[in-house]
Amino acid sequence: MILKVCKRNTAIQVNREPHSSVGIFKKAYTSGITIPQLDQSSLKPTTIVPPQRDHIITTAPKSLTKFENAKALRLSKGPPNYRQSRKNGSGALWNSSGHFGVNFSQPNDITIACDDMRPLPPCDHAAFPVILDEKLRICNHICNFQIKSSEPHIKSLKTKCLEEILARLSTHGAVHKMGDVCATKIVMMCKNNILRPITKLDDTTVFGDDLPPINEQAWPHLSLVYQILKKMLIGNSRLSVFSIHFAVDLLSILQTPDQTERSNLNAIISKFYKWKTKKEDNILPKLYHLLDDYRMSKSPPFMVGPILSLMLNIFQSLTHDKIYLMNYFQKILKLFSDPKFAYFENSFLKIVEFFTDESTVFSLMVVKALILHWPVICHEKEASFIRIMTDVLPKMSARDRNLFIQRIFSIYSRCSTSHSAKVAEAALSIWSSTLM
């Protein structure tokens, strides 16, 4: 079957992705030129951008037959794969190839949904899945908090929907009553809101204990999202969506400058690992990879403290001999060379204390790393190194201490005469330690 183009200049155009089997119909400027019609039944499933209505024939020319008119009209509605696409109630788009995507750029649809909003029934109610999909469609819409006057009605509506979901999850046994399908949709909604572009600070920012608090502008929604995710994790941690990949995806958000969000996220990941005790759920390699990426870049140190705290929880839960973790501990000690060491010093010292209490081998490793990375210019960091050295020396074996005693006391001698009061005070504190 062929299509004959009308006399006037007309363009039939179908957009396609690269390597797609859908052809491009070129312009026909004279009558009598025929364009072969592709056999659409042979096309492979693919996601295709719908054609622009301004560039296609919306009404078949009168010169065509009745059967050809139907063909032209069907072509004007887009390729078969696009027509077969459908949306579920949560705003997700499923196409004929089985791919999944979420479309949040539909403010008109959300506005329509606002006019007919039903309250969320109990989890065991027959209408719960349908109404939950309506709520999740609104919750999946990412609001713009950079502009306070943007979408005020949708922001308020999303807050109300999140509060309704949280209220239902707060009842006893709610997660199990709703079933795995609804529970998975809620978890994916939380993940969609958490995984987002985070605020980046200026490269000249000085990181220290006196850094003013930085709050995430979307926190009114994120606060509810994290509470919902905690309820889901506590209620049913065996959901298939709670896989190792789920936890790994969340690790990148630990770089957020909002300390409150980092604390919430760190608590969720820690609980996740505590309940996922299988060997394949070990996320230590990913954590060390993130630390290596941090050391090689100029990124802020926000994620280092939570990652070290998570590592400590993992180390405390392992039943292996701690010597087995020597290679991991050696990599952690490389953080001594970080100029922003003071920002995550407390979390770092807890790991050092954990290992040095286990074996004198780790104490020797710490002393070697301190001598290797000893700061010369930064007095605050030098005072921290002196305090760590003073705490670790009593845990060393007598043999190891004798090997480094001359080098160690030369450092204390130089630091005790430092112009910095912090350094001198930390160096003189050795005389009151248990070593003496």
Q: Which residues of the chain have pLDDT under 50?
A: 1-64, 66-67, 71-113, 277, 279-281, 434
Pairwise CA distance, residues 192 & 177, whole Å:
23
What Å distances lie between residue 268 and 290, 320, 360, 373, CA to CA?
Answer: 18, 24, 34, 34
Of 83, 111, 141, the residue that ends a domain is 83
Position 207 scores a pLDDT of: 60
What Å distances lie between residue 130 and 53, 124, 181, 218, 419, CA to CA?
Answer: 33, 12, 12, 27, 71
Pairwise CA distance, residues 377 & 434, whole Å:
29
Asked if residue 91 belongs to a domain, the reply is: no
The single-letter DSSP state of residue 396 is S
SS (H, E, C) 295-355: HHCCCCCCCHHHHHHHHHHHHHHCCCCHHHHHHHHHHHHHHHHCCCHHHHHHHHHHHHHHH
Position 397 scores a pLDDT of: 92
Of 26, 49, 83, the residue that ends a domain is 83
Position 7 scores a pLDDT of: 42
> Residue 434: which of 374, 390, 371, 386 has the closest Cα?
390
Position 370 scores a pLDDT of: 94
Asked if residue 198 belongs to a domain, the reply is: no
Model pTM?
0.63
The total domain count for the chain is 2
Of 66, 83, 100, the residue that ends a domain is 83
CB atoms within 10 A of CB 253: 17
Asked if residue 276 belongs to a domain, the reply is: no
Position 271 scores a pLDDT of: 79
Pairwise CA distance, residues 84 & 419, whole Å:
76
Asked if residue 4 belongs to a domain, the reply is: yes
| Structural domain of 434 | 326-436
